[in-house]
Structure 1
Amino acid sequence: MPATDPQSTPVLKHPEHIDEFLLYRLHNLARLATQGVGLMFRRELGISRRDWRILAFVGKYPDASLTRLAELAALDMVVASRCVANMVKKGLIAKTRLPENKRVTVLALTEAGRIAYEQARLSGQRYNTEFAACLSDEEAVLLDALLKRMELQAAQLTQREIARSGPLPLLSEDVE
């Protein structure tokens, strides 16, 4: 017989209203957290969250093309291009052509970009530490394992939906 006690029915598995849906709650959590870190980046470093993301991926994958960077950073190509152009103008990213293939342009951090990247990395690390401070060490380890499991499940469900429907064009709300 199914449980009738509301406390025994996991709301995340059986939501009744959108504000109980796991995806909505995760979205809301991410929105709140990224808003806070974005304000910190603007105040402390004069860069946006998206700038930080671009700096982080160019720092990690130097000599990536714009197409590869957009893919790595999970950004729409137009958004990535506009962001990179702005960061080139600010002197944080340099564009160079490959000597062996002049048609290919690759990206790298400038010296100012490396300094901004390191400052943003340290600020982001500090913010992340403060954000996770509400968890015990055991809870943090458990949450990490749960997030990995949920990421795998989300990837599998997405692949299933692509197989059923085909990939859909991105909506404006999907583009960051």
Structure 2
Amino acid sequence: MESEILELESFLPYRLYRLADVVSREFSKIYRDRHGLTRPEWRTLSGLGQHGTMTATALGEQSAMHKTKVSRAVAELERRRWLTRTADDHDRRVERLALTKAGLAAYREMVPLAKAFERELLARLGEEERSAIAKGVAALEACLGQDKVGAITLD
């Protein structure tokens, strides 16, 4: 009978989801309080801030967001005048998205806050725990084919 029961509290995919959600919610307080951004808007802003000009499709892939969430985030950031859309020279169906000066300023303001959040989060762990997490996450990313998405370092 025991094999027919799944204890979610010890099921690794569920634990990883819950942990990621809690960390994301804690971090969201910073960009929500500072700029009134939603998670998709923050992910869009940070993707463009990191990579420069991107398409909505590329943003969705980079941030693991559904195209409707990307579309709404792009529309809101455009409404704020934080990003611009430019038609692609080779394919008029494709738009290139880029941050404006105001969008870049907001992104640059958030970078040190994001890094401080990460430092404070990791400071709660010992050096061995940080190393174990970095290695474990990298191993899971590699075996699931996600290692090219972006390796993390927790040192």
Q: TM-score range by the shorter chain?
A: 0.7 to 0.9
Aligned twin of 2:24:
34
TM-score by length of 1: 0.73
Aligned twin of 1:141:
131
Q: Determine if the alignment matches structure 1 residue 111 to structure 2 residue 117.
A: no
Amino acid at match of 2:104: R
- Which has the higher Rg, Structure 1 or Structure 2? 1
> CA RMSD of the aligned region, Å?
2.0
Following the alignment from structure 1 to structure 2, what is the Cα–Cα distance between the partners of residues 109 and 35? 24
Any idea what the Cα deviations from partners look like across 1:45-72, whole Å, max 9, x if unmatched? 3222221211111122222211222122
Residues 23 and 100 of structure 1: CA distance in aligned 2, closer, same or farther (over 3 Å): closer
Aligned twin of 1:73:
63
- Structure 1 stretches lacking a partner, 5+ long: 1-14, 157-176
Following the alignment from structure 1 to structure 2, what is the Cα–Cα distance between the partners of residues 34 and 101? 36
Specify the SS of the correspondent of 1:96.
Answer: strand
Following the alignment from structure 1 to structure 2, what is the Cα–Cα distance between the partners of residues 103 and 21? 43
Following the alignment from structure 2 to structure 1, what is the Cα–Cα distance between the partners of residues 119 and 89? 42
Share of identical aligned residues, percent? 28
- Determine which of 78, 84, 97 is the counterpart of 1:94: 84
- Structure 2 stretches lacking a partner, 5+ long: 147-155
Specify the SS of the correspondent of 1:24.
Answer: helix
CA contact (8 A) 1:45 1:120 kept: no
Specify the SS of the correspondent of 1:40.
Answer: helix
TM-score by length of 2: 0.82
Equivalences for residues 9-24 of structure 1 within 5 A: 17-24=7-14
Any idea what the Cα deviations from partners look like across 1:116-137, whole Å, max 9, x if unmatched? 1112222111111111111122
